[in-house]
Structure 1
Amino acid sequence: MEEIIRLPYGKTEREFSIEGLTLLGILKPKRYPEIKDQKEAIYRAIRNPDYGQSLLEIARGKGSAVILVSDKTRRTLAKEIVPVILEELTKSGIPLSRITIIIAVGAHPMLTRDEIKALLGEEITDTVTVVNHNCRDMSSLEYRGISSRGTPIYINKIFLEADLKILTGAVNYHDFAGFSGGAKSILPGISGFPTISHNHLMLLDPSFGSGYNPMASAGVLDGNPVHEDMEETAELTGIDFIINTVVNADGKLSGIVSGTDWKKAHRAGCKMIEEIFSAEIREKADAVLVSAGGYPFDINFYQVMKSVINTMQMIKDDGGIILTASCSEGLGADNLREWLNIESPVRLEEELRKDFNMIGKIAYDIRVGLKDKKVVMITDLPKEEVEFLGFQKADSLEEAKEILSLRENSTIYVVPYGNITTARRVNPL
C-alpha cells in the first residue's frame, strides 16, 4: 500500500509518497496537555512557586524593581504575566514609578512603541517605564570584570541598580546555548555587544579550523561553554526571581517554572522541553524528509536553516536532507549573500571570529557544517538561489531521491516540524 505523508508547506500542505523507502519513523513533538486556567497558574507560580520564596516575600522592604521581558520573537505570555508581577510589587509597597521594564533584545533590533504595546498591552506601556536594551550604547552599561572564559562583562546599568531583579521569558531549545530562558535573559538579553560577541564565539571549537564545539548544541547544558559562560555572567547580576513559560507543540501554555532559585527553576523547564520536543531514534538514516513547519516558520531561508541544523544528527555521515520549505520571501537576510560569497572556509571563520553575528553563523553552517552533507530543497526559491546556497533543487520527492541516489529500501525519517524537533539517540534494540 502506498504511504502518503502530508507535510506543512507555507500556508498549505504538500503530499509525498515514500513508497519504496524504509520509514524508520515520523519524528514529531509529543502531545502535551495545555494548562486550561492560565490566570490561576500564573498567580500560583508567583505566589507559591516550586523553587524558592514567593515574589511578595522578597519584595517587601525593597525600594525599586526591574523586570526583564523577552522581545517579540518569543512566546512568553508577557501580556498575561507582567500585570500579576506588577500587582504583587505594588502590594509589597513598591510604587509603579519605581518599577522599570527592560525589553531584553540582546543584539536584536529594538522594539517600536507599537510593538511594545502589542507585547505588554497599552495600559502597562502607558503607566510603567519601559525601555529597550541597547547593547551598543556603552554609556548605558556597567563593566563587571571578565568571566573565567575571558568574556568582558558589560551589563545594563538600570538592571544592576534596581533593588529587586526579576526575569521573565520562555524555555525552548537553542541551537548552541542548549536552551533559551534562564540566564539568556541576562546574556545576551541585557549584555553589551562585546559580551555577546565573545560569548557566542564559544560555539566554535577553540582550535581554529576545527569547526563547531560539539558541546555547544541544542539540549546540552553541562559542559556547554556558551551556556556555562551565560550562567556565570548571570550569577554576577544578583537575580532575585524568575518566571519562565513552557509551551507545547501547538503553542499552548503547558508549564510555568518560577521562584528565587532561578537556576533550578530553569533546569525544570528544560526537562519539560526535552519531554515534549525530543524524539528518540535508535539508528541514523540514509535520508531525512523534513518540513520547516509551514508558515511563518518557512517564510524565508533564514528561518528554515534551524530545521536543517536540527535534523543533521538524524542522518548517517554520508546521508542527505530533503528540505521542504516555501521561502516565499526569499533568503530573508540582506547580507547573507555577502557572507556566502566568502568561499574559503578559513577566511569565513576569520571574519566570523572577528565580528560574530547570526548571519555569518548561518553562512558558516552552510559552508562548513554542511560541507559533507547533501541538501535538496523542494521550495519556491528559484533554482539559482538554491544552487547559490550550495544545495540542489527538486520539484518532487522522486527527483530528490534520484539526486541523493536513494535506492529501494533506503532508510528515511520524516520530520513534519523540523523547526521545533530534535533527536535523542537511544541504545539500539
Structure 2
Amino acid sequence: MRIELSETEFPPFDLPDERLVGIAAPSTSDVPGLSDDDLRSRIRSPIGSLSLRELAAGASSVLVVTDDLTRKTPLHRVVPLVLEELHAAGVRDEAITILIGLGTHRDMTPAEIEAKYGTAVASRYRIVNHRWDNPDELREVEQHELPFPVVVNRRVLESDLVIAVGSIVPHATCGFSSGGKSIVPGVAGGATIENTHWMALDYPMRDIIGVFDTPMRRAVCTVARQAGLDFIVNTVIRDEGQVVELVAGDPEKAHRVGVDHCRKVYGVEVPEAADIVIAEAYPCGIDLRQAIKAICAADIVCKDGGVIILPAACPEGVSPQFPEFEILGFKDPEGLYRRVEDGAYDNKLLAYTLVAIRRIISQRVRAILVSPGINRETTERLGFLYAESIESALQLATTLTSTQAEITVLRQASILWPILRQVSS
C-alpha cells in the first residue's frame, strides 16, 4: 500500500499489505465544519455559565488567553467572535489584552502573531507573549490546597474577566488539553508548570492519554480556579483547523462536554498491537521536544520489544528553549529521576519529559528518528536510532524485529488517542 504522511518533508512510501495491521487517523466525516454563525451561536449558548456578555458587563479589564503556534486552533476565526461579544457588552479595545499562553515555548514573532490571529486583530489589540521565567511578569496566588506554589502571569490576577481560548486534543500528561490547561502550563510560572508535570511520572503516559479525570487534571483545574479563570471557548478541530465542535462556558463543565466531542474525533480503535509503529509527529513537529508526543500514542499500540519510527520535521531542531535537552538525552531515565528526587538536578520540567519518554524508548521499545532537522550525531546522542528516510527506517526496524513484523501507521500521532481493541500476547 502507498502511504502518504501529512508533511511534505517525507515522500510517499510503500508498505506490504500482508504486514499492515492498519492506519489510524483522526476521524473524518462528510459533515462540513462549523460556520462562523455556528461558532457564534455556541459562544452565545454557554454551558454552566452566564453569557460572555453578562460576565463582561462593567469589566474595566479583560484578558483573553490563547494557545500558540504549536497548536492548530483557528484563532483568526474564534478570537474575533469572542471580541465581538466583549464589545457588545461595552468593553473598549484598550481594556482588552490578548495573552499568548506559551507555557515554556518560545515567543511568537510579529509575523506569526499576524498569521495566527489575522491582521485585523493583530493590528487593533494588545497582544503579549507570556514569559514563564520572568519574575516581573509573575505573581503567586495565596492558597493551601496544593503542595507547591501557584504562580501565574500577573495579568491573570489583575484582570476583571479572564477568558481562555484553545482546542481540545488527547494529551499524555493531563488526559486532554485545554480547559484549565490554558492557565497551567499556558500562563503559569516555572514552579507551577514543573510540579504539575512531575506528578504525572507516577503513571505511565499510556494510562493517562484519553482519560478525563486524572490527578494532574484535578491539579490543573484547582490552579485555574485559584487564578480566576472565568470562561472558556474550546474547539474540537480536524483537517488543518476545521472546527467540528465548539464549547463555551464554565471552565470545567464546558470542558467536560468538549472532551466527549474530542473522543469521537481523536479516539480511534486499533485492532491489535504491532511490532513496528510509524507515528508521525505532525502537527507537533516544530521541534523534538514537541514531536515526542507522538511516541506516547505509539506506545499504546507497539508490542514489547517493538520499534517506533518517528518521522518529525523538527525545523527548529531539538529544543531551542532548553539546550540541556540535547545534552541529557533519553538514555538513563531512572538515574535522572533519582537525581531530581535527591536534589542533585533541579530542572523538573525538562527532567519530566526526558524521564517519561526515556521509560518508553529505553525500557520497552526502541525508537528510530527520521528528521531532516536533526543530524545523525545528535540523534544517536539523544538515544534514538538514526535513519535518513522512512524506507531505511523500515529496513532497520525489520532487521530489529523480523521480516514478518506487523506494522501500524498512526497519522497525526501527537494528538491521537489509539484505543487497542485486543491485547496482543
Matched, 1:225 2:215: yes
SS of aligned partner of 1:354: coil
Matched, 1:245 2:235: yes
Matched, 1:404 2:396: no
Residues 110/414 of structure 1: CA separation in 2 closer, same or farther (3 Å cut) = closer
CA RMSD of aligned residues (A): 3.1
Matched, 1:356 2:354: no
SS of aligned partner of 1:236: helix
**Aligned match of 2:12:** 14
Q: Please report how far the alpha carbon of residue 150 of structure 1 lies from its aligned counterpart in structure 2 after TM superposition.
A: 0.9
1:365-393 deviation per Cα after TM superposition (whole angstroms, max 9, x unaligned): 45333213122455656544443333334
Q: Please report how far the alpha carbon of residue 354 of structure 1 lies from its aligned counterpart in structure 2 after TM superposition.
A: 1.8
Q: Please report how far the alpha carbon of residue 142 of structure 1 lies from its aligned counterpart in structure 2 after TM superposition.
A: 2.9
Q: Please report how far the alpha carbon of residue 288 of structure 1 lies from its aligned counterpart in structure 2 after TM superposition.
A: 2.1
SS of aligned partner of 1:406: coil
**Aligned match of 2:307:** 320
Residues 397/202 of structure 1: CA separation in 2 closer, same or farther (3 Å cut) = closer
SS of aligned partner of 1:357: helix
Q: Please report how far the alpha carbon of residue 126 of structure 1 lies from its aligned counterpart in structure 2 after TM superposition.
A: 4.0
C-alpha distance in 2 between matches for 1:314 and 1:107: 29
Contact 2:34 2:244 in 1 (8 A): no
Q: Please report how far the alpha carbon of residue 271 of structure 1 lies from its aligned counterpart in structure 2 after TM superposition.
A: 1.7
C-alpha distance in 1 between matches for 2:93 and 2:4: 51
Matched, 1:197 2:194: yes
Q: Please report how far the alpha carbon of residue 164 of structure 1 lies from its aligned counterpart in structure 2 after TM superposition.
A: 2.0
C-alpha distance in 1 between matches for 2:248 and 2:172: 24
Q: Please report how far the alpha carbon of residue 279 of structure 1 lies from its aligned counterpart in structure 2 after TM superposition.
A: 1.6
C-alpha distance in 1 between matches for 2:103 and 2:274: 37
Q: Please report how far the alpha carbon of residue 47 of structure 1 lies from its aligned counterpart in structure 2 after TM superposition.
A: 2.0
Matched, 1:367 2:358: yes
1:108-149 deviation per Cα after TM superposition (whole angstroms, max 9, x unaligned): 223344433333334434443333322223343332234534
Q: Please report how far the alpha carbon of residue 36 of structure 1 lies from its aligned counterpart in structure 2 after TM superposition.
A: 4.7
SS of aligned partner of 2:127: strand
C-alpha distance in 2 between matches for 1:178 and 1:151: 21
Output the amino acid matched with 2:241. Answer: G
From 383, 387, 390, give the equivalent of 2:383.
390
Q: Please report how far the alpha carbon of residue 31 of structure 1 lies from its aligned counterpart in structure 2 after TM superposition.
A: 0.8
Q: Structure 2 length normalisation: TM-score?
A: 0.84
Contact 1:374 1:404 in 2 (8 A): no
C-alpha distance in 2 between matches for 1:248 and 1:378: 25
Q: Which runs of 5+ in 1 are unaligned?
A: 206-211
C-alpha distance in 2 between matches for 1:319 and 1:18: 18
Residues 405/115 of structure 1: CA separation in 2 closer, same or farther (3 Å cut) = closer
SS of aligned partner of 2:415: coil
Residues 34/357 of structure 1: CA separation in 2 closer, same or farther (3 Å cut) = farther
Larger Rg: 1
Matched, 1:414 2:404: no
From 325, 328, 333, give the equivalent of 1:339.
328
Matched, 1:256 2:237: no
Paired residues for 1:33-52 under 5 Å: 35-36=32-33, 38-52=35-49
Q: Please report how far the alpha carbon of residue 403 of structure 1 lies from its aligned counterpart in structure 2 after TM superposition.
A: 2.1
Output the amino acid matched with 2:413. Answer: G
**Aligned match of 2:127:** 130
Q: Please report how far the alpha carbon of residue 74 of structure 1 lies from its aligned counterpart in structure 2 after TM superposition.
A: 1.8
Q: Please report how far the alpha carbon of residue 230 of structure 1 lies from its aligned counterpart in structure 2 after TM superposition.
A: 0.5
Matched, 1:27 2:18: no
Q: Please report how far the alpha carbon of residue 33 of structure 1 lies from its aligned counterpart in structure 2 after TM superposition.
A: 5.1
From 239, 243, 267, give the equivalent of 2:256.
267
1:184-230 deviation per Cα after TM superposition (whole angstroms, max 9, x unaligned): 1111122222111221111222xxxxxx55587321231x2222110
SS of aligned partner of 2:131: coil
**Aligned match of 2:279:** 290
Q: Please report how far the alpha carbon of residue 35 of structure 1 lies from its aligned counterpart in structure 2 after TM superposition.
A: 4.8
**Aligned match of 1:162:** 159
C-alpha distance in 2 between matches for 1:250 and 1:83: 19
C-alpha distance in 1 between matches for 2:336 and 2:118: 46
Matched, 1:68 2:65: yes
C-alpha distance in 2 between matches for 1:92 and 1:324: 47
Task: Give the percent of matched residue pairs that are identical in Structure 1 and Structure 2.
Answer: 29
Matched, 1:180 2:177: yes
Q: Please report how far the alpha carbon of residue 19 of structure 1 lies from its aligned counterpart in structure 2 after TM superposition.
A: 5.2
Contact 1:182 1:244 in 2 (8 A): yes
Number of aligned residue pairs: give it: 414
Residues 32/149 of structure 1: CA separation in 2 closer, same or farther (3 Å cut) = farther
Residues 399/427 of structure 1: CA separation in 2 closer, same or farther (3 Å cut) = closer
1:155-209 deviation per Cα after TM superposition (whole angstroms, max 9, x unaligned): 223222322221111111222121111101111122222111221111222xxxx
C-alpha distance in 1 between matches for 2:207 and 2:191: 19
Report the more deviating stretch, 398-407 or 75-84. Answer: 398-407
Matched, 1:101 2:98: yes
**Aligned match of 2:87:** 90
Residues 90/288 of structure 1: CA separation in 2 closer, same or farther (3 Å cut) = closer
Q: Which runs of 5+ in 2 are unaligned?
A: none
Residues 200/146 of structure 1: CA separation in 2 closer, same or farther (3 Å cut) = farther
**Aligned match of 1:208:** none
C-alpha distance in 2 between matches for 1:87 and 1:145: 34
Report the more deviating stretch, 178-187 or 373-382. Answer: 373-382
Q: Structure 1 length normalisation: TM-score?
A: 0.84
**Aligned match of 1:209:** none
Contact 2:102 2:186 in 1 (8 A): yes
